[in-house]
Amino acid sequence: MRKNVSRLIFALSLFLILAGTAGLAISAGEKKPEPQKQEAPRSAKDVWERAKKKIAAKDKKDGKQAKTTKPAPIQPDRVVYRIAIDDVITQVTADYVAKSIDKATEDSAEALVIVMNTPGGVVPAMESIVQKILSSDVPIIAYVSPSGAHAASAGVFIVLSANIASMAPSTRMGSAHPVTGEGQDLNKTMKDKVVNDLTALIRGIAEKRGRNATWAEQAVRKSVSATEREALKLKIIDLIAVDLPSLLKEIDGRSVEVFLGKKTLRTAGAQIKDLEKGFRITVLEIIGNPNIAYILMILGFYGLYFELSNPGAIFPGVVGAILIIVGFYALHMLPINYAGLLLIILGISLFIAEAFITSGGILGVGGAVAMFIGSVMLIDSPLPELRLSWAVIIPVVGMSALLFIITLTLAIRIHREQPDTGTEGLVGRDAEARTDIAAEGQVFVHGEYWNAVSDEPVKKGERVKIVAVDGLKVKVKKTG
């Protein structure tokens, strides 16, 4: 019967993988709220043409005409690298930016362009990126693009820290006020500490780059935002550019301050090369998805559970340990709530304990409740992209509860079929020889290893029947 339970657990674990994968697919397919648009013409062509006309008219009036002319001739000796931050900013993003800056420095690139379209991200990752940009000897160009894109929260700090800050038509930036994982304002004491710290940081960045420090402070304190034209007028950014070649042509010849001193930009006609993320960053981005990290961790615990239920199986234990380590590594890159993580671990521990301790279902119910609450609390972020999807939480917790119910039902059935208790209850039981038994050896019965003796030789793996119990030894004979 125990073998049947183990096989059932293994099958349910596989089903958990499928359920989690389906949840990920549903989560990925959920419609995200569309960003607010400054204008809403009927077609993309209208958006483009109207944006160019309005920007050109206003900039001409201000004497700052946006460059929409043909790009300069290609200069083979000039290279500008380009990367994109087009998702939530995490530690993986920080690693990618740092790697890209190092590559641009090593290759003596004219500049590194960071194309921005992000809702923000975690503060430690943002601080790491800002520090790397401010200490870079390669000019960094932040470009909020394409039309409709935005740089919010942590993205504002990155744009302001760049040597050149630019935005495409119909883009926006701002709203850098800190919030809790539930999207609510922090309590007053903690709020003052966090806001004051981030305000000092963003003011320092803006002042170093000669930008509007007052607006930068208001972006943190009051979550103000600005369109590209407002940002240019308020001296938050340096220019508006309809595309990257136009941007590079416009800034050509400007002098910027890098870490080791002044540097003159030679970007007109430069070759634009995209820096690939590489295998490592790509893998980290995949496992860094909170839903995937969560599923990996849960499957890892169930791998260990299967190993404990079937001592000697080895494979489930090895795979489970690997998945737990990978899952924890992925979670450490996210803003996790450790109380939520502990509740999940407690819930799974209670499920495992239910399989070995008769509690009348109390442990299992407690495990399901703890696991559900922990899953909801696990990711501490106001950004939907960093929170666990309900389409993943519900199948995982549901399958775990189902596993508990089935295991408990089978355990009750086994108990009713075999009412005997104690060592006397072993007599008449079938067992499996786990070693060769000449005079003595070991058998496996009732989930335990027992020293065994036999009047006849028994080979490892053969089925035997227990005929007597003598202290901590059982006497067996071959079946059949």
**CATH code, domain with 471:** 2.40.50.140
Which residue range forms the structural domain that includes residue 198?
A: 71-280
Does residue 98 sit in the same domain as residue 179? yes
125-157 pLDDT tens trace: 999 999 999 999 999 999 999 999 999 999 999
- Domain membership of residue 465 (yes or no) is yes
Q: 280, 304, 325 — which closes off a domain?
A: 280
CA 14 centroid distance within chain: 22
Residue 328 lies in a domain: yes
Are 408 and 379 in the same domain?
A: yes
Domain boundary among 394, 417, 440: 417
**What letters, b where the CB count within 10 A reaches 16 and e where it falls short, cover 354-380?**
bbeeeeeeebbbbbbbbbbbbbbbbbb
Are both 24 and 111 inside the same structural domain?
no
- CATH number of the domain within which 87 lies: 3.90.226.10
Q: Which amino acid is at 290?
A: P
- Indicate the burial class of 26 (C-beta count within 10 angstroms; 0-12, 13-18, 19 or more): middle
The verdict on residue 364 lying in a domain is yes
DSSP-derived secondary structure letter, 426: G
Residues 465, 329 share a domain: no
Cis status, amide bond into 335, omega within 30 of 0? no
How do the pLDDT tens digits run along the chain, 480 residues long?
A: 444 444 544 555 555 555 555 555 555 555 444 444 444 444 444 544 554 555 455 444 443 444 444 556 666 679 999 999 998 899 999 999 999 999 999 999 999 999 999 999 888 999 999 999 999 999 999 999 999 999 999 999 999 999 999 999 999 999 987 654 444 445 667 778 888 999 999 999 999 999 999 999 999 999 999 999 999 999 999 999 999 999 999 999 999 999 999 999 999 989 999 999 989 998 988 888 889 999 999 999 888 878 877 777 788 889 999 999 999 988 888 888 889 999 999 988 887 787 677 666 788 788 889 999 999 988 877 777 778 888 888 888 888 778 777 766 776 666 555 545 455 567 777 888 888 887 788 888 877 778 888 888 888 888 888 888 877 788 888 886
Please report whether residue 51 resides in a domain: no
Return the DSSP state at 329: H
User: Are residues 433 and 377 both part of a single domain?
Assistant: no
- 390, 417, 444 — which closes off a domain? 417
Do 88 and 104 belong together in one domain? yes
Rounded to 10 degrees, what is the CA torsion of 26, 28, 29, 34? 140
Same domain, 248 and 340: no
Contact 140, 133 (CB under 8 A): yes
Distance CA 398, CA 19 (A): 10
96 occurs within a structural domain: yes
Residue 87 CB coordination number (10 Å):
14
Tokens of 93: 């993003």
343 and 372 co-located in one domain: yes
Q: Are residues 144 and 109 in the same domain?
A: yes
Residue 8 lies in a domain: yes
| Domain membership flag for residue 461 | yes
Residue 224 and residue 155 share a domain: yes
Q: Are residues 234 and 270 in the same domain?
A: yes
Asked whether residue 256 is assigned to any structural domain, the reply reads yes
For 359-408, give the DSSP string.
-TTHHHHHHHHHHHHHHHHSB--S-GGGSPPHHHHHHHHHHHHHHHHHHH
Residues 161 and 217 in one domain: yes
The number of distinct structural domains making up the chain is 3
